[in-house]
Amino acid sequence: LRPLHLLTKRVMELMVEFQAFNGKKYRHLHRRFSVGSANEAYKLRFGKKLCGQESRSVYLHTNRPFSTKDVDNNKLFTNCSNTMGGGGGWWYVDHNYCYTVNMNGKYYAKGKSERGEGIVWFPVAFGRGESLKTTKMMFRPEGTTQKCEDFSP
């Protein structure tokens, strides 16, 4: 995560793309994306959504420290990476479900997950035993994108 922290010391924008198993594609563009230092446990930060489908769920993850199965930084009674995250590291939140977004969850080839531990972006895939098919996170200097369609890797 240190390289990600160093790369995001400048003001960046974050584009997230994902696809459900039914073929539907989603895209979100956020401003002011950064990942904190090791002293901050690599806290995730991003600002206002510039465009994309409505989804408030991702904002629960901002200002949260990164947790893994061996370094538990969330404040729940359980290690979210082990119990709900499929063993993957993520910026877990401090509520009963551990996350509303988890792009590092367990991959289920047929799109059906157990206990919501798959690759999740609420409300697209969560709570109905669904997992996402593909995900992509991209970032670049803020101000480069004028509209969502302009953002390409």
Residue 122 inside a domain? The answer is yes
Q: Which residue has the higher pLDDT, 71 or 153?
A: 71
The pLDDT assigned to 26 comes to 87
Residue 59 inside a domain? The answer is yes
Residue 150 inside a domain? The answer is no
| Strand partners for 26 | 18
The pLDDT assigned to 74 comes to 83
Give the number of other Cβ atoms within 10 Å of residue 129's Cβ: 15
Q: What is the CATH number of the domain that holds 85?
A: 3.90.215.10
Let me know: does 141 contact 131? Beta carbons within 8 Å: no
Model confidence, pTM: 0.86
Percent of the chain with pLDDT over 90: 34
Nearest-CA neighbor of 35 among 53, 13, 15, 8?
8
Give the SS3 label for residue 50: strand
Range of the domain at 62: 2-143
Cα 49 to Cα 143: distance, rounded to the nearest angstrom? 13
Residue 149 inside a domain? The answer is no
Residue 96 inside a domain? The answer is yes
Residue 152 inside a domain? The answer is no
Task: Tell me the pLDDT band of 35, cut-offs 50, 70 and 90.
Answer: very high
Residue 45 inside a domain? The answer is yes
Q: How many domains does the chain have?
A: 1
* Tens digits of residue pLDDT in 104-150: 988 888 888 776 678 888 877 665 678 899 999 999 998 887 766 66
Q: In this structure, what are the phi and psi dihedrals at residue 64, rounded to the nearest 5 degrees?
A: -100, 140
